[in-house]
Amino acid sequence: MSLQIAGVGKDFGKQTALSDVTLDIAGGELICLLGPSGCGKTTLLRIIAGLESASRGSITLDGDDLMQQAAHQRNFGMVFQSLALFPHLSVEDNITYGLRLRKMPAAARRQRAAELLDMVRLPGVAKRAVSMLSGGQRQRVAIARALAIEPRIFLLDEPLSALDAGLREAMQIELRELQQRLGITTIVVTHDQREAMTVADRIAVMNGGTIHQMGSPIDVYRRPADKFVASFIGQTNLIPATWQDDRLIVRGSLFDPGQAARDNQHTSPDSHETWLSIRPEELIVLDNNAASPPGATILEATVRFIRDVGASIEAHLELPANDNQPAQSLVALVSRDKVQHLHSGDTTRIQLTADCTVVLET
C-alpha cells in the first residue's frame, strides 16, 4: 500500500521536532528514515503509527485519510528498539497476542505462529519462554509478532541496534529478504548509515526535523545534496571552494566542475562560497613521475601516513596552509601498486576532476 505524507510538522511546546515533512512511499517500498539522534525520525514514525498526533499536515494510505484513524484501527505492524516482548509468555503466545485480541481460534493461531516462525527462520521454539532466547532470536520473534496481524504497513524503530555488529549485519540482510518476499511497504528508523544502505530502496536523510535528501542509497552516496548529507553518509573529503563566474577557485587554483554543477549554481547565484565533496575512493593521487594532464586542476599535498588495513589502504594527505586557508587533511583510497611510491613526508599531487567531485549546496 502506498503512503503519502504531506507537510507534516510536530511541535512539543515551543520546540519544533518536525517541520514540513513531505514523503511519498510506493507500495512494497522499504524506506529508511536516517539521521542523527534528535533529528525527528522516531517522532515521524510514531505519527505514522498513530501513537503521536501531528501538529499539522496530512497522511493518507492509498488515498484514505489516516489522521482520522486511531493507532489500533490502522493495522500497522511495529517493532521497537526495546522489542516490548512479554518475557513471561511463550514465543507462540507472544506472536499470537494480536490474533487472540482479534478472536482468532486457537488452532488457527498455532498454525499461523508456526508459519511465521518458519518465515523468520526460527522453527521449533514455539513453546519456549522468550526469556530463554538469544538477542537475535528475540528480534525474530518481535518481527514475527508484528507480521502476525498481516499489517498494512510495517514500521521498525532501530530494530537491530541492540545486537552486536556481526549479528546485526546478518539480520539486516534477513530483514531485507523477508520484506522483499512479503512485498510489504516498510519504514525503518535508523541512525546507522550502513544499515540504511543495506536494507533501503530509498533513504530519507533527516536532520533538524527536516528531510535533507530523499533518494536511493547510491544516489545519496554519489550525489549528496548538501554538506550534511555528504558527511553523514559514508566518509568524504570536504574542500572549501569559491565560485568565480562559472568556475571554482580551489586553494588558489581554477577548477571547472562541469556543466551539471554550473547549472545548479545558476539556481542560487548568491551562494559564492561552497564545498567540494570527494569520496576517498574517487580522490585521484597522481603517480610521482606522471605528467599533469593538460588543463587539469592539480593540488600539491603532503603524505602524512599510510594506513594499511589489509583489504584497503588509505593514504592520509595534507593540503598545506596558505595565506587564506589552514592546512587540510584528506583521505584517499589507493591501490597496493600505488602505495609503494608513497612515503610519509613526501610531496605528492592530487587531481580534481568534474567526474569525481560533487559541488554541494551549503
| Chain residues in the site for ligand ATP (CB under 6 A) | 12, 15, 17, 35, 37-43, 191
How far apart CA 176 and CA 179 sit, in angstroms, is 5
**Least gap, CB of 238 to ligand ATP (angstroms):** 23
Which residues lie closer than 8 Å to 300 by C-beta, 6 or more apart?
A: 319, 320, 347, 348, 349
**Most distant CA pair in the chain: distance in Å?**
79
Q: For residues 38 and 105, which CB has a smaller minimum distance to ligand ATP in the complex?
A: 38
The upper half-sphere exposure of residue 347, i.e. CA atoms within 13 Å in the direction of its Cβ, equals 4
**Least gap, CB of 140 to ligand ATP (angstroms):** 23
Which residues lie closer than 8 Å to 178 by C-beta, 6 or more apart?
A: 119, 120, 143
How far apart CA 333 and CA 311 sit, in angstroms, is 11
The dihedral of CA 46, 47, 48, 51: what is its sign?
Answer: positive
Q: By CB neighbour count within 10 A (0-12 exposed, 13-18 middle, 19+ buried), where does 317 fall?
A: buried
**Least gap, CB of 40 to ligand ATP (angstroms):** 4
Q: For residues 158 and 361, which CB has a smaller minimum distance to ligand ATP in the complex?
A: 158
Q: In Å, how far from its chain's centre is CA 117?
A: 29
Q: For residues 111 and 161, which CB has a smaller minimum distance to ligand ATP in the complex?
A: 161
Number of H helices, E strands in the chain: 12, 20
**Least gap, CB of 226 to ligand ATP (angstroms):** 18
Q: For residues 39 and 203, which CB has a smaller minimum distance to ligand ATP in the complex?
A: 39
Q: For residues 41 and 212, which CB has a smaller minimum distance to ligand ATP in the complex?
A: 41
**Least gap, CB of 81 to ligand ATP (angstroms):** 8
90 CB neighbour count, 10 Å cutoff: 18
**Least gap, CB of 5 to ligand ATP (angstroms):** 14
Q: For residues 56 and 272, which CB has a smaller minimum distance to ligand ATP in the complex?
A: 56
**Least gap, CB of 146 to ligand ATP (angstroms):** 19
Q: For residues 12 and 305, which CB has a smaller minimum distance to ligand ATP in the complex?
A: 12
Q: Are 242 and 274 in contact (CB under 8 A)?
A: yes
**Least gap, CB of 71 to ligand ATP (angstroms):** 16
Q: For residues 40 and 151, which CB has a smaller minimum distance to ligand ATP in the complex?
A: 40
Q: Are 350 and 302 in contact (CB under 8 A)?
A: no
